[in-house]
Every structure is written in structure tokens, then in C-alpha cells.
Structure 1
Amino acid sequence: MARTKSNYKVLDYRNNVGFAKSCYSKGEVIVLIVFLRFKSLSREDVWLLLRYLFILLAGLLFFNQKAIAQEIRSRSVVVMEASTGKIMYAKNPDLRCMPASTTKLMTAIVVIENANLKDIVTVSRNAARVLPHKVGLREGDKVSIEELLNAALIGSANDAAVALAEAVAGSEETFVEMMNKKAKDIGAINTRFVNASGLPGKGQYTTAYDLAKIMAYSLKYTRLKKILGTRVVEITTENGKEIFLKNTNRLLWANDDVVGGKTGYTRWAKHCLVFAAERQQDTLVVALLGSPSRENLWREA
């Protein structure tokens, strides 16, 4: 069954395939057979065989990528290398989707760049009356910019987002103009905001690609990155009101590599998430929009 040639003991692949199958995987058997056949092939035949194998592997990789895309149920997904902007994976990266509360990431960027975090804000009636998700701010409450950022990013509070917009720009409308300008400056050219909270609004949209770019940009601000990665916090208004906040980003408990992110949900936008993960010197940003269920969102993330 075995023969010796040039002092090397070689398996007879024709007579020992059954043995090989019992000891090796299918892939290893193929490699073994190819290796053994090289001894009897001409140089031209070897190059033809290598060319065939290359085409075969390329096809397998292509169809495997398509299979992965079919398994992903979120409407738009991007995995991006934060430092270079290189796309590691994408599904419908430029599909316009409603951003829901991932909008608050841009709200926070504009606030960080245009306000003193220690400044005290008096909550307006307009901000206090925002629905649905809120932390219970009341008209006349006095809260620092930093505490409002905690409420907007950790607790995903819409009332806090509107209070921030009014504090920075005088009105939410003017603040939204600042948000849209910043989006364009970052390179998020397929993004348009109509409010600071992410509540449904006509003409408000983003893409997974743009959202990943916004997340990558936000990481340059140490304070913002720290807030996005905070699991729980208690904020206190100047009036003495204490508000406990738990981060809506479940990944912060499930994966130590995750350094922060922002969730979002409305009935129209479905479930959304953008987050960053670090391992050694590498930082990846993942954006998912339009996931059909919360369970599916966390599974895909």
C-alpha cells in the first residue's frame, strides 16, 4: 500500500483514500492528494492546477460573503476600521434609514465642540414636554451640560437632548443646522437631521456608513468616549433631584472590548446600534440600522 521513493515514504493516494478520510478532514485530504500529485506533474500542469485552485477559493470566498450577508437581517450594516476608514464588512452601506436615537451621537459631538460642560442649563417647558422617552426633567430644573449629556447618551433621554440643543444654539432648529453642517464636515454626506433627539421626523435619515464615520469621529473626544462607555450613573440636578441612569447598550456588559456606543429604536426605524470595540491597538466601529428585533440586533452585534 505504501511505497518508498528517494528515501521518503509516500502514501499511495489511490489506495489509501479511505484511510486518509478517516484521519483527516476533507480539506486536508484535498491538500494531501494535490501535494502527492505534484511529484508526477509537469511545471505547466502545476501552474494550471494552482490557477484552478485560486479560482475555486475565490469563488468560495465570494459565495461565503453572500451567505453571511443573507444571514444578517439588519437593513444596513458596516464594520469599519476607525483609524483608516477601511470597510471590513458591509451590507447596503449607503441605504438611507431612520437613525432613531443614534442621532444623539451627533447631538453630543456638537455640544462637546460648542459648550462648556460645567455650564448650568435651565430646562425649558418645550424640553420638559418632549415625549416619549425621557428622564423626567421639569420646567425650571437646573442641570449641568455634562449631566444632560449623561442623560441623553446613557439614558437616551429625549428631554435632555432638546435641553442641550436649546442651551447651545438657543433653539432646536438652529442646533439642527449645526448638526447637519458637522455631518457634512465629517463626510457623512448621506445624513440629514431634523431634530436633536432622533424622534421620527420627515426627511431625517442616515446610512450605516455615515453613522460609522460619525462614531469614529466621536472617539477623538476623551470625555465623550468615557460617557458612551459608562454602564450606570446617577445624575443630580441643581435642585437636588437624583436620577439613576443605566446604559441602553447591552454590549457594555457582554464584551470587555466594547468601549462605547449608542442604541436607538422607534417603530419606524426599528432597532439600531453603533458602537466601537478595541483590541490591542486596533479599533473597529460597527453600525447596524433597521434590525427587525432587539434579539436580532444583539445577536448580529
Structure 2
Amino acid sequence: MLAAALLLPVPVRAVSADHAYVLDGVSGRVFYEKNARERGLIASTTKIMTALVVCEQCNVLDRMRIPKEAVGIEGSSMYLKEGEVLTLQELLYGLMLSSGNDAAVALAIYCGGTVEGFAELMNDKARNLGLTDTHFENPNGLDSPGHYSTARDLAKLAAYAMENPIFRKTVSTRSVKIGERCLTNHNKLLWRLEGADGVKTGFTKAAGRILVSSASRVDRRVICVTMNDPDDWNDHCALLNKSFSDYQICPVVGKGQCLGTLEVVGGENSRVEILAAEDFSYALAPEETVEVALPGAGFVYAPAVEGAEAGFAYALISGKAVG
């Protein structure tokens, strides 16, 4: 295995957000961060997790009758009516395009039995993804002291969620007609930025403007998060464009490639080859060089079993060990 992480220099354009994080979705390289591990309110970007849990645990073609508990919810809405029947996919559109708090409650009740039960599913998923600075108390993002995340955790969540084809199709949809409803995505980047394909806006007076975005170009995806950012659309365009223009995904090693050898103690062969277990690529600037280091013990005891894990390899970017 290989691991690596480096930071971009601060962008030429000043970022107006209190918190920001830019992540390469392919290699995991962090392009930029600003107060990215400080917890804060996340408003409707909460719905990224809501949608992800539904996509993973439910059949989105299922139909549900809207209960009275999901009608007239505070804040943004798709204006559900008690007793109407919609598919979960239609509710996902209402959740992620119109940012419907009512859709969030309806989906939570269907998938988790209750809003509280669904919040437990959200927190279970957060723990599973290693989002250590994230906790959910509701499916819609209404302000609550125990409901928070960080720019870093939101980026990791979004990168994972964008791998789900149902989620990805939903958040990349610009507009959709559901019965008499015409829903338009609040994410203006879908019209403004080349390759933009997600993911979610958010706003409350206490949280400020929150934006999680994704853009794909050729074989790359970059995730950008800003929190409490009055100029979020321009910040995201600048950060995403810079990440694409300054860095390219480059192969570092190929699966099965020989990375070195180990001494075998007590065996017929004195040394065995160490082979890469998987392909590994990384986002690199044109002036950067990359090589592979093999730290750890320099020998193994016989018998040396083919395919056994030998340890970890690390990338060195321009001579600097990272990861």
C-alpha cells in the first residue's frame, strides 16, 4: 500500500471562508485547507449523509405515503402533502435539489423508523467512514448544539458519496419535474463551472453559507468545501480551477511492480522481491518528482509465502516523505 498527503500553497486569490478544504477525489491529496478541522454548524449539507444512507440502505424505487410528521417542516421545503405517494428517488430529488427539510424527515421515517432512529444510522455511517469530528442529530441540518462537522470531514464524506451512482446522478441533476412540481438544483456551480457535478448547498443564520462542491474533468474529481463563506461561488470556482490546472494525476506504481527486495533468513533463497499490491496514482505538479520508499524491517523469516503482506511503501514527493 502507499499513502501520501501534501498541501498546496495558499491560493493567489484570498479565500473568504472561515473554514475550507480541497481534496483530490482520486489520490486523496489535500490541495488546500484553512481551519479545516474546527467543528461548526453545517446546515443543509447534512443532507449529503441523509441521501447517502438512503441510497445505501433502501431501494430508491420504493414508494412511500407521506406521513403527517413530514408535512410543514420548518425551513426550505418541497411542499409535501400528507397522504401523497412518492418514490424514494423523487424524495431524494426534493432533498438534494430543493433542499427539502420535509423530504429529509419523510426519508428518515421510511429508512430509520423515526427521525431519532435515522440519526443513529447517520452517526453509524460517520463512524464507519472515520469522520471523527462529525455528529448528527437530525436529517435536515437545522441548527442544534450536538449537530456539527468540519470542512475536512464534509470533504471526505462527499468524496465517498460521489462514488455511489444513485447519489451522483441525483446531485448532478440540474432540474426535474415530479408531478406538478418543477425542482431546480440550488447548486449554481452546475451551470457556472466546467465539470461541476455536485453536491450540496447549505445556509442558516447561525451557520452562514456552507457549500460542498464536486467537479470532474477527464479522469479526475476534486472536492471543495467552504464554511461560513460570503463569496462561496467565486471561491469554489477559483479553488477547483486552480486544482485542475496546477496538478495532474500521475501513476506512481503499478500492481505487481517490484519495489525492492527483502532478505530471507533460514530459507533456500537469500532474498525475495517486494511487489506492489495495487496501482497507485497521485496528483502532482509539473515540477514535482516522486519516488517510493520502503521503511521497516529489512528481512523476513523463512518460509516466505508468496502474496503475504510485507508492509507499507511511502511516496516521497520531491524528496519529502509524506503520508
**Into which bin does the TM-score normalised by the smaller protein fall?**
0.7 to 0.9
Maintained 8 Å contact 1:194/1:202? no
- Cα root mean square deviation, aligned: 1.6
How far off its partner does 1:67 sit?
7.5
Tell me the equivalent position of 1:262: 200
Q: Specify which of 119, 138, 146 is matched with residue 89 of structure 2.
A: 146
Q: Confirm whether residue 298 of structure 1 aligns to residue 233 of structure 2.
A: yes
Tell me the equivalent position of 1:226: 169
For 1:123 and 1:117, locate their aligned partners in 2 and report how far apart those are by CA, in whole Å: 15
For 1:147 and 1:181, locate their aligned partners in 2 and report how far apart those are by CA, in whole Å: 25
TM-score (normalizing by structure 1): 0.74
Tell me the equivalent position of 1:33: none
How far off its partner does 1:132 sit?
1.6
Alignment of 1:142-291 (within 5 A): 142-236=85-179, 242-291=180-229
How far off its partner does 1:146 sit?
0.5
Structure 2: runs of 5+ lacking an equivalent: 1-6, 237-323
Task: State the secondary structure of the residue aligned to 1:108.
Answer: helix
Q: CA offsets per residue over residues 247-266 of structure 1, 9 Å max, x none?
A: 00000001131111100000
Residues 214-223 or 144-153, more deviating: 214-223
Give percent identity, aligned residues only: 36
Maintained 8 Å contact 2:44/2:99? yes
Structure 1: runs of 5+ lacking an equivalent: 1-61, 237-241
For 2:151 and 2:92, locate their aligned partners in 1 and report how far apart those are by CA, in whole Å: 23
Maintained 8 Å contact 1:97/1:207? yes
For 1:114 and 1:254, locate their aligned partners in 2 and report how far apart those are by CA, in whole Å: 33
Specify which structure has the higher proportion of strand.
Answer: 2
How far off its partner does 1:118 sit?
1.1
Q: CA offsets per residue over residues 57-93 of structure 1, 9 Å max, x none?
A: xxxxx9x945758x21211100001123221110011
How far off its partner does 1:223 sit?
1.6
How far off its partner does 1:202 sit?
2.0
Maintained 8 Å contact 1:97/1:290? no
Give aligned pairs, total. Answer: 230
For 1:131 and 1:106, locate their aligned partners in 2 and report how far apart those are by CA, in whole Å: 19
Maintained 8 Å contact 2:10/2:32? no
How far off its partner does 1:129 sit?
2.4
Structure 1 segments of 4+ aligned residues over 6 angstroms from their partners = none
For 2:11 and 2:61, locate their aligned partners in 1 and report how far apart those are by CA, in whole Å: 50
Task: State the secondary structure of the residue aligned to 2:228.
Answer: strand
Q: Confirm whether residue 105 of structure 1 aligns to residue 43 of structure 2.
A: no
Tell me the equivalent position of 2:78: 135
